[in-house]
Structure formats: C-alpha cells, structure tokens
Structure 1
Amino acid sequence: MNKKHNHIVIYVILFITLLCFIPLSHLKFDFALDQMFPIHDPDVTYYEDFQRKFHTDIDEEVIFIGLKNYKGIFQIEFLRKVDTLTQYISKLNYIAKVYSLTNSSFISLHNGTFSAAPLIHINQPDQYQADSILLFNSEEYRQLLISKKGNSIAIAAFNQPWLTHLQKRQLLFQIQKKLNALQFNESHLAAKIRIETTYIEEIKKNIKIYLLVSILIVVLALYFIFKSWNAIIISLIIIFISNIWSLAIISISGYPVDVLTSLLPPVLSIICMSNIIHLFTKYNTLLSLGTSKEDALTRTFNELKVPTFFAALTTAVGFFTLSITDILPIRTFGIFMGIGVLLSFVVSYFFLQSYYHITTEPAPIQHNKHNKQWSLLLNWSYSQVVNHKIKILAFTCLLMIVSLYYIFKIQINGSLLEEIPARNALLSDYKFIENEFYGTRNFEMELVLLNTNDSLVNLERLREVEVIQGILHDSLNIACIISPLSLYKGTNKVFHGGDQAFFSLPSSQDQINDYTLKINQTQYRDEWLRYYAEDLKSLRISGKLPDLTIKEFEGLSHRFEKYFNKLNFKNNYTYKFTGSSIIFDKIAYSLTTNLLNGLIIAFILIGLIGYYMMKSYRMVVISLIPNFLALLIMAGIMGLLGIHLKADTAVIFSISFGIAVDNTIHFLNRFKLELKLDLTISNALRRTFLEVGRPMMITTLILLLGFLSLLTSSFGGTFYIGLLISISLFFALILNLTILPILIWYFYKN
C-alpha cells in the first residue's frame, strides 16, 4: 500500500470506532437464572409444561425475609414492626401476594357458621399465650412461617415474574430500606431476584477490575520487552479499538453483558497482544539485522500474514465451538468472543502496518546485550531438547499416566451460591434462612397415577400419597411440604372447629368428595389448581431443601427411588423431580456432554487449518499432539486439586486448545519457510527454534499474566477459568518447545 492508502486505512478504522460509540451507549448488563437453562433439553421442556400445568410461575419468585427478635416473637413492638413491614411490602409495585403471620387468619366452623380469627392478636398481649399454643400446635403455619427454634418468623412475598433489572433493583432497595428503618434485631433476605441483581453488580465491578489489571499487564509487559512508550501507546490503541468494536457488536445484537461476556474485554486484550508481539518481534529482529524500514515492514507482514491469521482463526474456532452447547449465555459468549478475536486480528494487522508505513519514527530496537541473553537462553534450551530426547519423551509419558489417573477423579458438581463471593452479605442471609428455617432451594415433584380409570381424589390413593410425603420428609429431609393433602387436611380441621387433632385426611370417601366440592367453591380453588392437574391423574408436591450441591441432591434422589420401589409404589405411580434448582444442576451435565463434541469439532477444524498451511497429514497430527497433551495435564490438575466439572470449568477445554495451538502454527510455519531454503532437518529445526522461541515465550507470558488477572474475580467460576487456562497455556508452551521439535525430528528422520 502507498502512503495515501495507509492514511485511508487508519481513517476508516478510526471512523468505524467512532460509529461504534453509538450502540455502545445502549449496552445493557443483565443476568437471569432462567437464561442458563439448556435449550431444547427434555427436562427443561418437562419443567415448562409442569409450570403451565400447575401454574407455578410465581412460586420461583419468592422474596423470603427472616426476622429474628432476641426476646422472642411474642413481643408487641416486634409484632407491630412485622405487621408494618407486611403491609408496606403488600402495597409495593411488582408484588403479587404476601404471606405473613400478621396477615393470616385461623378459619374454623362452629354451629354451621365460618369464623376467621387472626393468628396473632398483635395489639392484645394478653392473648399471646393462647396464640402461641395455637400457632405452635398448627403444623401448617409452624413449618412455613416460624423458625425451627421458634425465635424467628418469616414473611414470604411473591414478586411478578419477568421483571427488568431496574425493577428488581428498585423493589429490593425499597424492601431493604424499610427493613433498615424498622431496626429489627436481625433481618435476612433471600430471593431469586437478589441473586440475579448480585450477579449483575459483581459483573460491573469485575469488568472494571479486569480492564485495569489487563491494561497494567500490557503496559508493563510491553515496556519490559520493547522499552518504548511508543509501542505501548500503539498497542493500547489497537486493544482499545478491538474491544470497542466487539462490545458494539454485542450491543447491536441486543444481548446484554452477563457473567461470561464480561470476560470479553480482558481476554480479548491479552489475545490481541499475542498478534502484536509476533509482529513487533519479527519487525525488530529484521531492523536489528540492518534491514531497511520498508523491507523490514514488507517481510514482516508478508511472512507473518498467514500464520498470524490462522493463529487468530484457530483461537476463534476454540471459542466458536462453544456455540454447539445448548446453553444460551455460553453459546453467545463463544460467538461474540470468536468474532472479537477475528476483529482484533484485522485491527492489529492493518492498523499496525499502516501506522509504521506512515510514521517517520523507527520501531524500537533491542539492545545487543538483551538479544545476547535471549540467544544464550534459546541455544541452551534447544541443546537440552536435542540431547535429552528420550528422557523428555519418557517424562512426558509418565506425566500423562499421572494425569490420566487424576482425570478419573474429576466429579461433576457445583452449586449456584458457590459462585457468589464469600464476603457478600447474600451468603450470610441464605445461611441464616437455611439454619433457622427449612432451606432456600425449591423442591418440586409430579406424581402421576398409572391407572387411567382411577383418580387422585380417591381416599386410598391420597393415603398412599401421604406415605410418599412421609418418605420425602423423613428420609430426604424435605420440609414445608405442600400438596393436595394440605388442602384436605386443612379443610377437615376447619370443619371440626379448628381442632388440630383433625389436621388429617378425612376418614371416608364421602367426606373427600364433599371437601372437594367445597374447596372448589371458595378462593382456595386457585390453590387446588396449583396442585392438581385437570384430569386428576397427576398432582404436585412442593417443599424446601437447603442449597445442595449436585452430588448431594443425587444422593437424595437415589435414596427416594430405593424407598419408592421397596414399597411397590412403582406399580401404581411414576414420578419426576423438577424445579428451577434441578434444571440448573443440568447445566454441568449438558456442558460435559457437549464438551467432547466441541473438542472433536475444534480438533477437526484446527486440523484442516494445519493441513491447509502444511499440506501434510503427518504435520497435522504432530501439531495436535502437544496441545492435546496440555489439555490432559490441565484436566489431571483439576482432578488433583478437586476442582469440579461444572458450567464454567467445562468451557475451558475448547478455549484453551484454540489459544494454545497458536504457538504451534507459528513454529510450523517458520519450519516450513526454513525447509524452503534447502536446509537439513536439524538446521531447519534449530533456526526455527531460535527464531520463534522468543515470541512464543513472550506471548505465552503475556497470555498467562492476562488469564491470571481473572484470579482477581469475585466469581468462583471465573477464578478457575483464569487458573486452568493459564495452566494449559504454560504446559502447551513447554510441550511445543520440547515434544513438538522431537516429533518433527523423528517424523522427518524416518
């Protein structure tokens, strides 16, 4: 390109960057748990049908508030505060309904007349003893709204589904502000919308930290390598433009920044640095050999055009393979990240080339002393590889055996709250509610009757359901169980004057039929429809569990299945556990299933790229082996450290492979060029090692530092992404500088 064309290229890039600020101003931040559900997964489809069948949408939207009074709950000042809070929340926008001891009534039938009395006579302390006896003897109220020890009470408010982030924040702010004003001894709030808003706030904070740390790494690394502020400024400009373009594309797509896409700026910045360093290093090397500026530029961008592009392409492929997953946030992260990597190549290649063509200032040249140190290091390293080939191969085999041993120790496990920073108040609130009450994890189950001529309003069937509920409660520690039995037992109690002794199933089918009719003639018909299917052939059982890991819940599921089959219920019923918590557990399994497929696709695509470059199937195999071994070592370290395979850690394999293979491509491309000079295999390998060894080490160091910056993340998953990818890249470098030359040596010797 002539000087005029170089100016045009820079102006076009800058103009596009300015245009990108328009959509960038509309960039959104969001996180919704429902978005993490696997798309087209049969369990997700079942859950959605379950929600429609039993009208359970709102049940997942509970705002659970635990209130503790050190002097006990029967204190007039405390109860007045609780009532004030209850009334306040019930009047807020986006609140559908509120359950509290202070707004609930005790219904009974006396002499053919229904009467409703408050559960607690707030302003009549002389009634507290009677209220206390009645309340603690009433199982239906005691489990739902009073703590195990009886010194805390709960308010359960249900917000409308599908609120925006702003609406969620506003609602939580209003409730928290009122809680602070009322000054309870202790107040704790747990809610799905609180988890979601906490994630979003952490995302915003983490992006700032990531960018700050990654920019600092870039500045220090470039100054250490090139000793030039000019190189630093140009690199930062290229990184800035690449990020602006990528974020603008996210904004134009209408997709918000979530936990995963928040990783784009720091990761893209570091990958972009890899392109820049390879180009800088080659350019500087030629200048230091006395090559003229124009010749150095021409040779640099002609020789590195293909390998730099394919290195970017293989990295992009690693990210693009995530698009085969059926989890939308991971799919979009892979697509946006892949696009960003390709854009960063375009910006790096054309901006850098045009800039150095029009500038009069030469690129920085390393001091001879610095070059000599690199030369000594690389010569020594190459001699060690050549002289100890057998030992290196033997040690690598031993390392693979150890890695495979620990790979089989990897478990699929995880919990949503594990990702929340330990210092976050949300965790202490959830811990309080789990300890004081009966857990924060929703349990849902559908029980289906196999006999189509029978019905689940049959008294005999209801008694069997009662036994099944007993198994859930006694063996699985599921609390706050609600089912159609709750309606029948409550109605039976009402029709016997509110006597707690009659909180049980009625004794005859005629009573069941009578209660069924009466329930459906009152406001409790809504509850009936939420626990019975229309055909009365299936019913819903709901309850509460602590925030269990995947493995812990699997243990409970197997235990229930054992009892269910032992009592021969499988002859009359089928059942299925469901609910948002269980679906969320599916994410790790879904990703693990897709993990192998993604890796296979990445291997095939990157192999095709290698064949296009080298025109040799043997070289394709050689190029894949070191990077595959690096993945095995990383997986082995996962097993050794007890890092579970879950939503975040499952995505790192394709990403790591795509990035790690960059060094292989640069090595093989240089080797190919050296062979064209009619050199022997030995000389070609040596020259290749000395030529690309330095930029490989430098770029890997930058990548390591960049991904290690993710260790500053407050999200547990992001922390492990940074750690494990860094481990993979480190071993990929070692293997590409040892195993790769040895494989080439033996391959071509034969």
Structure 2
Amino acid sequence: MWNLLSSLIIKFRLYLIILLLGITAFMGYKGQYVKWSFVLANVVPDHDPDMIDFKAFKESFGEDGNILALGILDSAIYKTDNFRKLGYMSDELMNINGVNDVLSLPSLKKLVKDQEAKQFKLEPVFDKIPSDQAELDSLIQYALGIKFYSGQLINPTNGANMVLVTIQKELMNSDERNRVISDILFITHAFEKDTGIKLRYAGLPYVRYINTSLLKDELRMFLILSVIVTGFILFLFFRSFKVLLVALCIIGMVVVWVIGTLVLLDYEITLLTGLLPPIIVVIGIPNTVYMINKYHQEYFAHGDQERAIRTIIRKIGIVTFITNMTTAVGFLVLALTDIVILKEFGIVAGINILATFMVSMIMIPAVFSYLKPPSKRHLKHLQFKPLDRVLTALDLLVHRYKEVVFVVTAVVCVVCVYGISKIEAVSFMVDDLPEESQTKQDLLFFEEHFAGVMPLEIVVDTKKRKGVQNLNNLRKIDQFESFLDSIDFISKPLSVVSFIKATRQAFYNDKPIYYDLPNERDKNFILRYLSKATDEGDLASAFVDSTGQKIRISLKMADIGSVKMDSLVNQVIQPRIDTIFGDKKFDIAITGTTLLFIKGNKFLIDNLVMSMVIAFVIIAFIMGLLFKNFKMIVICLIPNIIPLLITGGMMGLVGIPLKPSTALIFSIAFGISVDDSIHFLAKYRQELFANNFFVPVAVSKSIRETGASMIYTSVILFFGFVIFAASDFGGTVALGTLTSTTLLMAMLTNLTLLPALLLRFDNGKRNKQEHPLIEQYPEFYEESEDEEIDLDMIEVDPNTTKE
C-alpha cells in the first residue's frame, strides 16, 4: 500500500499540491466568517436538577449576571463638585444604548408616603445636587439612614460606595455586550481623569469583557510566538531555510483549515478552540521533523534523492499515521463528553491533526522532489557530536544500569503517588486571572468592602398563589435572611422582605428603627402597597413572580472557590433551610450563575477524567492492533503513564489544584507522548529482524536512529507548549507548563525506561509467520536493498582480464 502511495504522490505531485492549495484557499475564504463566542459556557447538562432550577429562575426573574459594579473608596467623592460629576456620570451611563438602569448615590430614590393616595411613591433623595457642602453632608447622612441601601450600595463603616449598571440581558451573549462595556469604560475613564478618583470595576459583564479582550490579544500573540519558537528550533536542527519554509507552509495551511473547520461546523471561537491554531503549530512540527530527518538519513546513506523521497513515504507512512491517530485520539475523546465547549474543541482538533498528517505526507515528498538535494551543511545534524554523545550515554545507561533505571523510576512513582494524594479539586470564578492583575485586585476590593459581587440566588416557592402576602411566610424568610447576613463572605440579602421593611421605615417618616416587617397594626396598609407593586411590575416585582407565589432572595458573595462553595451550600445553608422551612410547605432552590459555574467545573473535571480513561483504552487497543503482543502493549504504555504520574505528583506537591485546565492536560499529553514509543518500537521490531532477534543490538540501533528525532520533536513540543506560560490566564499557563513538563518527562522515559524494559523483559523471539500491522513500517526485510539494478549504470573496465 505505501509503495503504491509513494508512487502516486510523486506521479501526481503537482496536482496534489494544487488541490491542497485550493482547499486552503476555500478554508481561508470561509475563515473570514468565523465568529467569537460571547456566551457564558453552560457545561452543566440541561437535564441536571440544578440547571433546571436555574432555567426556571431566569424564566421567572430574568438574568442574574448582568450587573457591572463600579466601586469607590475616596472621601473626595463626597465633595460637592465631585459628587455633582458623579451624578453627571450616572446620567451619561444611563443614556448608553443597552443600559437598563444605573443606581448610584446621586440617583438614589426613597419611598415617600402619599397620604392622599394611601400608597407610596418613589422620589429622588438628591432632587438636585446642592452647592453647599453642609447641605450635601446632611443629605448623605440621610441616605445612610435608608437601611435598604445600607450594605448594598453604601458601606456605612468607611463610606465606600458603588455604582451599579444594569445591562440589557439580551445583549449579554452577543457582540453588543462588548460595545456597551466599551462605552461605559469610555465614560468612567473620563470621570477618573477629571476628578482624580479611582474607580474599581467588577461584575460578570466586566470580567467576561476583559477575558474576551485578553483572549483575542493572546491568540494572536501565541500564534506568532509558536511559529517563531518552533521555526527557530527547526532551523537550528536542520540549518536549512528550505526545511523551515516548507514546514511553516504546511503548518500555515492547517491553521487556515482550523479556522475554516470552525465555520463549516458552525462553531465559534471560545477560550478552548481559540488555542487550537498555536497548538496545531506545535503538534504539527514533529511530522516534519521525523519525515525530513528520515529523508536526510536516506540521502546521506546512498545519495539518491528520488529514492530517499519514496522511502520516507514507504518506510514511515504507517507509523506517522498511527502517531497522528493517537494524538488525535487524545483530543477526539473529548467529543464523547456532554459538554459543548469540550466537544467542539475535541472534534476540531482531532480532524485537523489528521489533516496535518495528510498535508505533511503529500507536501513534504512533493515539494522536496522539486528542490535540490540537501547539501553537506544540511546533513551535519546527522553527525552532531553533542547529540551523539547524549545518545551514546543513554545507550550505555540502559544496557549497564537498567536496574538503576527501574529503582529510580519506582522511587519517583512512590513520591508521585503521594503527591497525587495531596491534589485538591478546586476552582474559582476568576481562576484564570493572575493575583497581581488589576481586575483581580478590583474583585478583592469588592470582597473586602461589600462581601463580593458574584451572584447567588435563592428562590422560595410558597406553593400558594400570593403566598408573598402571608406575614408568617415573610417572617420565616426574614429569619433565614438574618442567618445569611451573618455569613462573612455573603452580602446583605435583598428580597421583597427588604422592600417591605423599607416601606415600613418610610411609613414612619424614614426613622431607621422602623426598618422591620409590619406588625399586626400596620400590616394591612403596607401589604396593600406590596399588592399594587406586584401588579404594577415596579421594583418589588423583580423579586416576586407574576403569581406572587415565588420569592427571590438575591445575594452577592466572594469568590470562595468550589470546595468552600460546596461546603457552604450543603453543610451551612441547606441545614438552616431544613430547620426554618422544614415543614415541607416550601420548596427552596439555591441557584444562580456562581453556583452553576462551580458545579460546571466539577462536571468538567469528571468528564475530562473519563475522557482520559477512554483515551487510554483506545490507544491501548491501537497498540494491540499494531503489535498483537500483550507484553509489548504493556511495555509501550508504562513509559507514557509515568510522565502523567509525575505531572500529577508535581501538582499535589506544589499545590496546583485539579481544575478543568489542568485535567485537560492528561488526555492530550498522553496522546502526544505515546508517539515516541510507537516510533521507537517500530524501529526496534525492524532491528530485531535485521539482527537475528538479538535484543541488545536492536535496542542500541533503535536508540541511535530514533533517539535524535525523539529529542528534536520533544524539544520543539516543550518550547512550543511552554510559550503558553506567558498567558494572563491561569488555566492557559497551567496547560502550557504542565503539558510541556509532561512531554519532556515522556521523552526521558521513552529513551531510558522503554529500552530498559525491552532489555529486561523481551526475549526477542518473534514468529516470522505472523505479520502485525507495525510490520508495514519500515520494510522489515530491507526490500530497499533489493531494488532492481540499473544495468546501464554498470561499467566494466576493458583492461580487466580473467585470471
């Protein structure tokens, strides 16, 4: 098959090059329509009870994560001039197309008792901003006495305050969201410049805007860096601009295919799929290294360019396909999950890794057949003395000290297993942001002064129409809210109870002591207001559904992480719910974006662990097809499992938590690292046949021939992935550093442990009548040596005489 394929590629090389260029042009055309994802990924499946509760909440009360918060801690804001400018800023923000509401100190409203209409009406606290400082101070003190806002908009202990900007929920998952945030920032930055007062920014709309902006910048940076780094290393190895240009052309074609694939499959660029172009650059280079290294070896051996080109197809076609297949499996298993972003990432990556094989297998032989043969300078890397010394040292190590290799490996495994036992699975809402970033510092500001801004929602279903008007129900909710308010990292709850308390305070001329639920004497008047408010759909209706049956308790909290969040919900809040509402007359649902995000990360990790297991099984099955020898399967897998153990051990020992970005590493790294084992064992099997099944010689020759390519590709993979450590996203940093470390460890184990295992456990005996798939790489009986002899090239010396 591969002999035929080599002939076809050479015969139709021009047409194949034109075909690939045509496909690339088509993909490039499609790629211009690629879209960025603005949707907050829901990784919890629709059938999950928590997702059902969240959807029901949004149906009744709308979006919970559409508020952008601006924080201020500066006494200068209470000066008349600056306070007036704060009011102007609030008005300008309100005029932005896409902003629903702006709540700030200058725009505060109070409930006023209307004696004639027997109801309350809303009036501004600051009808106009006074020019007199004493008058302004008096109004601010009055505002601080409105208990409804205390702890919500104003911190009464230090004067910190917030401006809350509500964005239309329809824009939250569209490109318009970024336009709105950009307009908001234009106005707020002008305010900062004019007053010298620093603003702090938080809220899910802002965090998502920052993440999207950083993502776009980083994708361009990483794509450029990956090309520069891998290209530079490739040039150092081969000292050839031709090799470099051919490799970059191949990778460039596949990168265009990646973008085109996203469009054809109707996918968008997400945090994961956005990483694919630089990842493809890094993963695609090893194909070039192995094929060109083999091309140079063959040409160095006999000096026949066409024969060398045909040989790289015939001899390493199947093994290159298998190695690309195992790498693709590491990604494609993600398509088996129930999580859309993982599924899309896995499908696009898997398709284009296999496309990389196809493009490499056609372009390298076809293009190099048109180019001049490599010069002596280009072949110097085959006799690179430092590398030769390294391979010699490795050869001696596995032959003379294989028992030491086993002992060291065992000790490392024990330490790593201990480290793995220390791993904690924990994730945060803003996990990816570095501690020193301004965004993270701003979030800490809100956590310190307002207990955080991450939304958490609790829905109380009274199971009765207009159950909100039952005073006993309200008292239970008030008791529950008092408990929630006592938790340090949770803000003061906001619900219809808060509004009812505010109406009572307003009824008694705004005296703070009357901020409480109505008693038997005044409840009729106040509940009459509530009934009107619910019917008319004003402020209170945002916290009561249309039937008056469900009550929303809205909280803001600190980003405490998945472990504490799980403990808070199940060990703190839920027991108190059971105590207060334990009569089964209520249904209580804890929900919200924060809770779904935390649960989503746990769901992600579970799916990634399962995908890792599936990848392991599939790759083991591929090994079985290749070798048809159980012992060889085990020997192949062990050196690739140990790097994963090392990575897991490192995570536990240095305190790197298991989260989606770190869990993703294992299936990807395993799929890539096993490539070296396949290359080594394929060559080893050939050398067994060529050297009378004498294992030591076969191992030595395998180290010599495949070792160089393994080191080249591992170095490229290491530096290719380590560039992701320059990211501002913690998850991307972890993906880069841990994947590069895993692949480096895999190179070491495949060059030490793998040959040591062969020397210790393989007797070299093979049944010549059995022909497993791996025998298609290379020609095991050296058919290349038995090719037809061109008689025209034989010259006979006429002076030669027969003795």
With normalisation by structure 2, the TM-score equals 0.87
Q: What residue is the counterpart of 1:70 in the other structure?
A: 75
Amino acid at match of 2:36: F
Helix, strand or coil at the partner of 2:532: coil
Residues 452 and 82 of structure 1, relative CA distance in 2, 3 Å threshold: closer
Following superposition of structure 1 onto structure 2, how do residues 493-504 of structure 1 map, counting pairs within 5 Å? 493-504=505-516
Q: What residue is the counterpart of 1:683 in the other structure?
A: 697
1:102 aligns with 2:106: yes
Which of 630, 635, 649 matches 1:617? 630
The CA distance in 2 between the partners of 1:369 and 1:502, in whole Å, is 88
Which of 598, 607, 621 matches 2:620? 607
Tell me if structure 2 keeps the 8 A contact 1:484–1:532: yes
1:518 aligns with 2:503: no
Amino acid at match of 2:103: Y
Q: What residue is the counterpart of 2:213 in the other structure?
A: 201
Structure 1 unmatched ranges of 5 or more = none
Q: What residue is the counterpart of 1:539 in the other structure?
A: 551
Amino acid at match of 1:65: L
The CA distance in 1 between the partners of 2:310 and 2:65, in whole Å, is 62
Amino acid at match of 1:167: E
Q: What residue is the counterpart of 1:61 in the other structure?
A: 66
Tell me the matched-pair count.
Answer: 745
Following superposition of structure 1 onto structure 2, how do residues 393-412 of structure 1 map, counting pairs within 5 Å? 393-412=406-425
Amino acid at match of 1:578: T
Following superposition of structure 1 onto structure 2, how do residues 630-669 of structure 1 map, counting pairs within 5 Å? 630-669=643-682
Q: Which deviates further from its counterpart, 717-726 or 251-260?
A: 251-260
The CA distance in 1 between the partners of 2:616 and 2:382, in whole Å, is 41
Residues 482 and 620 of structure 1, relative CA distance in 2, 3 Å threshold: same
1:700 aligns with 2:714: yes
Residues 568 and 274 of structure 1, relative CA distance in 2, 3 Å threshold: same
1:49 aligns with 2:50: no
Residues 354 and 476 of structure 1, relative CA distance in 2, 3 Å threshold: same
Q: Which deviates further from its counterpart, 473-482 or 604-613?
A: 473-482
Residues 487 and 387 of structure 1, relative CA distance in 2, 3 Å threshold: same
1:187 aligns with 2:199: yes
Which of 95, 98, 102 matches 1:91? 95
Q: What residue is the counterpart of 1:271 in the other structure?
A: 283
1:11 aligns with 2:18: yes
The CA distance in 2 between the partners of 1:7 and 1:35, in whole Å, is 47
Write out per-residue CA displacement over residues 313-355 of structure 1, whole angstroms, 9 at most, x where no aligned residue: 0000001112233332222112211112111111111100111
1:24 aligns with 2:31: yes
Alpha-carbon distance, 1:383 to partner: 2.0
The CA distance in 1 between the partners of 2:358 and 2:574, in whole Å, is 60
Residues 275 and 61 of structure 1, relative CA distance in 2, 3 Å threshold: same
The CA distance in 2 between the partners of 1:444 and 1:20, in whole Å, is 45
Amino acid at match of 2:67: V
Alpha-carbon distance, 1:156 to partner: 1.5
The CA distance in 1 between the partners of 2:621 and 2:243, in whole Å, is 35
Helix, strand or coil at the partner of 2:383: helix
Amino acid at match of 2:365: Q
Amino acid at match of 2:94: S
Alpha-carbon distance, 1:528 to partner: 4.4
Alpha-carbon distance, 1:512 to partner: 4.6
Tell me if structure 2 keeps the 8 A contact 1:473–1:479: yes
Following superposition of structure 1 onto structure 2, how do residues 146-161 of structure 1 map, counting pairs within 5 Å? 146-161=154-169
The CA distance in 1 between the partners of 2:578 and 2:57, in whole Å, is 27
1:138 aligns with 2:146: yes
The CA distance in 2 between the partners of 1:406 and 1:72, in whole Å, is 51
Helix, strand or coil at the partner of 1:23: helix
Tell me if structure 2 keeps the 8 A contact 1:31–1:259: no
Helix, strand or coil at the partner of 1:714: coil
Percent identity between the aligned chains?
A: 26
Tell me if structure 1 keeps the 8 A contact 2:466–2:547: no
Alpha-carbon distance, 1:705 to partner: 0.9
Amino acid at match of 1:521: K
Helix, strand or coil at the partner of 1:142: coil
Tell me if structure 2 keeps the 8 A contact 1:407–1:635: yes
The CA distance in 1 between the partners of 2:144 and 2:158, in whole Å, is 8
Residues 583 and 215 of structure 1, relative CA distance in 2, 3 Å threshold: same
Q: What residue is the counterpart of 2:330 in the other structure?
A: 318
Q: Which deviates further from its counterpart, 252-261 or 355-364?
A: 355-364
Helix, strand or coil at the partner of 1:60: coil
Residues 130 and 711 of structure 1, relative CA distance in 2, 3 Å threshold: closer
1:739 aligns with 2:750: no
Amino acid at match of 2:596: I
Helix, strand or coil at the partner of 2:556: strand
1:225 aligns with 2:237: yes
Tell me if structure 2 keeps the 8 A contact 1:476–1:556: no
Amino acid at match of 2:411: L
1:118 aligns with 2:124: yes
Tell me if structure 1 keeps the 8 A contact 2:465–2:549: no
Residues 370 and 61 of structure 1, relative CA distance in 2, 3 Å threshold: same
Alpha-carbon distance, 1:205 to partner: 1.6
Residues 132 and 594 of structure 1, relative CA distance in 2, 3 Å threshold: same
Amino acid at match of 2:75: Y
Residues 705 and 453 of structure 1, relative CA distance in 2, 3 Å threshold: closer
Residues 477 and 471 of structure 1, relative CA distance in 2, 3 Å threshold: farther
Structure 2 unmatched ranges of 5 or more = 1-6, 765-803
Tell me if structure 1 keeps the 8 A contact 2:451–2:489: no
With normalisation by structure 1, the TM-score equals 0.93
The CA distance in 2 between the partners of 1:679 and 1:561, in whole Å, is 69
CA RMSD of aligned residues (A): 2.7
Following superposition of structure 1 onto structure 2, how do residues 127-526 of structure 1 map, counting pairs within 5 Å? 127-163=135-171, 166-182=175-191, 183-184=194-195, 185-362=197-374, 365-367=378-380, 370-421=383-434, 424-448=437-461, 455=467, 457-508=469-520, 512=523, 515-522=526-533, 525-526=537-538
The CA distance in 1 between the partners of 2:272 and 2:355, in whole Å, is 19
Residues 519 and 617 of structure 1, relative CA distance in 2, 3 Å threshold: same
Residues 703 and 72 of structure 1, relative CA distance in 2, 3 Å threshold: closer
The CA distance in 2 between the partners of 1:600 and 1:480, in whole Å, is 45
1:710 aligns with 2:721: no
